[in-house]
Amino acid sequence: MRQLDVTAATLTPTVCSTFKPADVPSLRLLIFGGEAGNQKAHDLWRGIPMLANYYDPAEATIYCVCNTELSTSSHPVTNIGTPIGCRPWVVHPTDHHRLVPVGCVRELVTEGPLISQGYLNDLAKTNAVFVEDLAWTNTQRPSSFSSSSTRRRFYKTGDLVHYHADGTLQYLGRKDSQVKVHGHRIELGEVETHIKSLIPNVSQVAVELVQPPGRADRTLAAFICFSETISVAQESSDELLLPMADSMRSTLASHLEALVHAMPAYMIPTLFVPLHHLPLNLSAKADRSKLRRLLDHASVEALQTYRLASESPKQPPSSPLESRLHTLWSQVLDLPTHAIGVTDPFVQLGGDSITAIYLVSAAREAGLAFSVAELFQAQTIA
């Protein structure tokens, strides 16, 4: 970007957090897109001439809602602004024929020429989210995007929003199990299916996006119940959490490579949390909100036990170069140096594609040059 004197860019907030405005002094316009805004990226970039937040689902491309006053707005950083090229509606999540009042948190539905024709070779999915002539359209005057003789078509985004009094939309999350990690859409159910099919002795699993204390970014955590063939070291004082027994860690670590081959790196959970049982809600389904709260007050040491790096004595650095890398890994992964051995794989320590970018950037500032590809190829410090 610096070499090309880039003046305008559209990037995810996560990627924008990996470098600073001073790294790209020519940049005048920065658009956050691809994922929900985060405070870290907002605080880092709010000083540039124009900072914007665009809502850009692929099904309603390129942009359908935008907030061009992100630097000065008093709204939270997840405010996506006002519509462009579409008409947004807020409907009941389980009944799109019901409009809801301003201020209610419900599903965003968009209407307009930017809506796609559907999903390639997937008629069932297309019919589920691209809908026509909703019941309340009979009480509306014809849309500016259609005439009275044409059918009105809508895209159900699956995103929960509410209107502010000033007409801007506030993004609040998903109504289903789809989440975004580092700009990538992830179906949590797909990750759960791979874990159950590829890791033996897993009886139940729920994957959730959590935000450990002290971390600016969210990460995937797999909450796992093992069958009785996996021994438990001891009972935990918590009614749900189990200590990570050696047999559990060994089982998970030995099958991590199978997960890496089955899914992209951004879909691999950073934390694997063993449980006595999955908590259930009144509908007898996994209580996902309770799972997300389980790690709210976890210490760095406790979180480290849920990573898959070996708990055996760590091999220390044996050269000045290894010592410098060791320190950088500790800073980027937010782990104490004693928890990192030079033979521990980056992924098992909780590293992913974005932390790899952080590491490469930090190394460059320290005078060390290597690429993300080289990091994943080497995997360890040694």
Residue 261 is predicted with a pLDDT of 83
* Strand duo 95-99 + 87-92: pairing: antiparallel
Structure tokens at 187: 């179906």
CA 344 from centre of chain: 25
C-alpha closest to that of 182 among 360, 15, 373: 15
The CATH fold of domain 179-305: GMP Synthetase; Chain A, domain 3 (3.30.300)
Q: What is the DSSP letter of 135?
A: G
Residue 234 is predicted with a pLDDT of 45
C-alpha closest to that of 111 among 158, 73, 64: 64
CB contact burial 113-129 (16+ within 10 A = b; e otherwise): ebbeeebeeeeeeeeeb
Token pair 């009094």 in the structure block, residue: 165
Residue 144 is predicted with a pLDDT of 60
Amino acid present at 382: A
- What torsion do the CA atoms of 242, 244, 245, 251 make, to the nearest 10 degrees? 120
Architecture (CATH level 2) of domain 320-378: Orthogonal Bundle (1.10)
CATH code 1.10.1200.10 region(s) in the chain:
320-378
Question: Sheet harboring 219-226: ordered strands across?
Answer: 202-210, 219-226, 271-274
Peptide bond into 357 cis (omega under 30): no
The answer to whether residues 329 and 381 touch, using CB atoms and an 8 Å cutoff, is yes
CATH code 3.30.300.30 region(s) in the chain:
179-305
Q: How far apart are CA 202 and CA 199, in angstroms?
A: 6
- Strand ranges (DSSP E) for the chain? 8-11, 29-32, 50-55, 65-67, 79-83, 87-92, 95-99, 106-111, 130-132, 153-163, 169-174, 178-181, 184-187, 202-210, 219-226, 271-274
The DSSP annotation for 174-208 comes to ESSSEEEETTEEEEHHHHHHHHHHHSTTEEEEEEE
* Strand duo 8-11 + 29-32: pairing: parallel
Residue 148 is predicted with a pLDDT of 53
CATH code 3.40.50.12780 region(s) in the chain:
1-175
Residue 295 is predicted with a pLDDT of 86
| Residue ranges in the chain whose pLDDT is less than 70 | 139-149, 214-216, 228-238, 283, 309-312
Residue 363 is predicted with a pLDDT of 93
Residue 123 is predicted with a pLDDT of 95
Residue 25 is predicted with a pLDDT of 94
Residue 237 is predicted with a pLDDT of 41
What CATH code would you report for 1-175?
3.40.50.12780
Residue 143 is predicted with a pLDDT of 58
Please report which helix (H) or strand (E) contains residue 253, including its range: helix 246-254
Report pLDDT digits (tens) over 109-139: 999 999 999 999 999 999 999 999 898 887 6
Report pLDDT digits (tens) over 32-43: 998 888 888 899
Amino acid present at 370: F
Residue 170 is predicted with a pLDDT of 93
Q: How far apart are CA 111 and CA 99, in angstroms?
A: 14
Q: How far apart are CA 182 and CA 264, in angstroms?
A: 12
Q: What is the DSSP letter of 21?
A: G
